[in-house]
């Protein structure tokens, strides 16, 4: 294992990255992870520039250690009106059962980083230690500008071809995401998802990319960390393992589900957002098996619809996005620092 490559690059003691889970990762969680010697993260995919600035300031107020900011790099929605109309029509009975009017249009709940130059300007001004990308690669000149400010960059990949695109884009390290991972698949083109498990993906990257590889997907404990490092990863990224931490903003209902038998039955669906994502099944997931089933509205337009349904149904979680990976049954309700101490005490991980 070559963990020193990752720890030196990221400026951390242990080769562990907390996944940047939008809606769950908080300044408190990121700071706790970073203070414990790993790399905390904030998911900014759903944040405005003003919200991102506030999150960065809050995190810096409670830790001086490096942390990561994550952006979504999906192709900006083309908004096919016919596709959106078909998606709305499919879900109309659910709105009617909830006694609500059926929406007439869908609006993207957030922008792609690729169409958000003000967010780039914020990053260049704030100069965070690390910035990572999901769903694709930003323009090469954006990467050069970030690196010129001393910012380390990470890019998610689910195949060798994507990993090579990340490396060729000038990004410093690849996050190799296996199909086991919770939340959104980082696949560039959802129609071309090979659905590779982590330990099938890692050997395909070995010797094919020169930058450090960070393994993600189903890693929940010291044994999982050790297996990923032994397979050639320089570090690991863990998300579901932190969902029950008190510092996370995981809802009470989500925590209860993760602590029940539901945690053993995660599934991947496109129903929630329009892109494949793994979580705890509910009415949204079950609808995927109905017939006929239309193509979902583009990401993130489909998310607008599911968010509306979730708001209408609350306190029911029938339409809630409760992301979790296949390792969910192993999640522990412990402080983030305790988890990192527990994992690293069993392994020779110090750089």
Instruction: Using the predicted structure, report yes or no on whether residue 292 has a pLDDT greater than 90.
Output: no
Domains of the chain: 3-76+111-263+327-345 (3.20.20.70), 81-110+281-321 (no CATH)
pLDDT at 289: 64
pLDDT tens-digit series, residues 56-66: 999 999 999 99
- In a 13 Å sphere around the CA of 95, the CA atoms on its Cβ side amount to 15
Instruction: Using the predicted structure, report yes or no on whether residue 287 has a pLDDT greater than 80.
Output: no
Instruction: Using the predicted structure, report yes or no on whether residue 283 has a pLDDT greater than 90.
Output: no
Instruction: Using the predicted structure, report yes or no on whether residue 134 has a pLDDT greater than 50.
Output: yes
Distance CA 285, CA 272 (A): 8
Instruction: Using the predicted structure, report yes or no on whether residue 2 has a pLDDT greater than 80.
Output: no
What pTM was estimated for this model as a whole? Answer: 0.94
pLDDT tens-digit series, residues 223-251: 999 999 999 999 999 999 999 999 999 99
Instruction: Using the predicted structure, report yes or no on whether residue 351 has a pLDDT greater than 50.
Output: no
Contact 258, 264 (CB under 8 A): no
Least confidently predicted of 98-102, 243-247, 283-287: 283-287
Quick one: which of 203, 151, 140 has its CA closest to 176? 203
pLDDT tens-digit series, residues 294-318: 889 999 999 999 999 999 999 999 9
Q: Average pLDDT of 334-348? A: 92
pLDDT tens-digit series, residues 156-210: 999 999 999 999 999 999 999 999 999 999 999 999 999 999 999 999 998 899 9
Instruction: Using the predicted structure, report yes or no on whether residue 322 has a pLDDT greater than 70.
Output: yes
Instruction: Using the predicted structure, report yes or no on whether residue 92 has a pLDDT greater than 90.
Output: yes
Residues 6+ apart with CB under 8 A from 205: 157, 160, 163, 174, 176, 213, 232
pLDDT at 102: 97
Q: Average pLDDT of 41-53? A: 96
Q: What percent of the chain has pLDDT over 70?
A: 96
Distance CA 166, CA 133 (A): 9
């Amino acid at each position: 294992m070559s963990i020193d490559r990752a720890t030196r690059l990221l400026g951390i003691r242990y080769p562990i990255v907390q996944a940047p889970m939008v809606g769950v990762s908080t300044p408190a969680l990121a700071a706790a992870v970073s203070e414990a010697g790993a790399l905390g993260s904030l998911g900014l995919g759903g944040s405005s520039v003003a919200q991102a600035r506030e999150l960065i300031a809050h995190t810096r107020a409670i830790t001086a250690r490096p942390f990561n900011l994550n952006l979504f790099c999906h192709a900006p929605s083309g908004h096919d009106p016919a596709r959106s109309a078909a998606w709305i029509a499919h879900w109309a009975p659910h709105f009617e059962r909830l006694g609500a009017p059926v929406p007439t249009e869908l609006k993207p709940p957030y922008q792609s980083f690729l169409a958000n130059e003000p967010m780039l300007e914020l990053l260049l001004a704030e100069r965070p230690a690390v910035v990572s990308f999901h769903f694709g690669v930003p323009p090469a000149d954006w990467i050069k500008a970030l690196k010129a400010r001393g910012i380390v960059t990470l890019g998610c990949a689910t195949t060798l071809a994507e990993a090579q695109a990340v490396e060729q884009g000038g990004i410093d390290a690849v996050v190799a995401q296996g199909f086991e991972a919770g939340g959104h698949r980082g696949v560039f083109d959802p129609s071309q998802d090979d659905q590779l498990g982590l330990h099938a993906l890692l050997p395909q990257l070995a010797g094919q990319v020169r930058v450090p590889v960070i393994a993600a997907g189903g890693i929940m404990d010291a044994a999982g960390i050790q297996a990923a490092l032994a397979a050639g990863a320089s570090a690991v990224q863990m998300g579901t393992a932190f969902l029950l931490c008190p510092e996370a903003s995981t809802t009470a209902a989500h925590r209860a589900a993760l602590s029940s038998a539901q945690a053993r039955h995660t599934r991947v669906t496109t129903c929630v957002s329009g892109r494949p994502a793994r979580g705890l099944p509910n009415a949204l997931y079950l609808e995927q098996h109905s017939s006929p089933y239309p193509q979902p509205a583009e990401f993130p337009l489909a998310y607008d619809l599911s968010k509306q349904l979730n708001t209408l149904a609350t306190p029911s979680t029938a339409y809630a996005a409760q992301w979790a990976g296949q390792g969910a049954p192993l999640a522990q309700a412990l402080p983030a620092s305790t988890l990192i101490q527990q994992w690293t005490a069993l392994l020779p991980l110090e750089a």
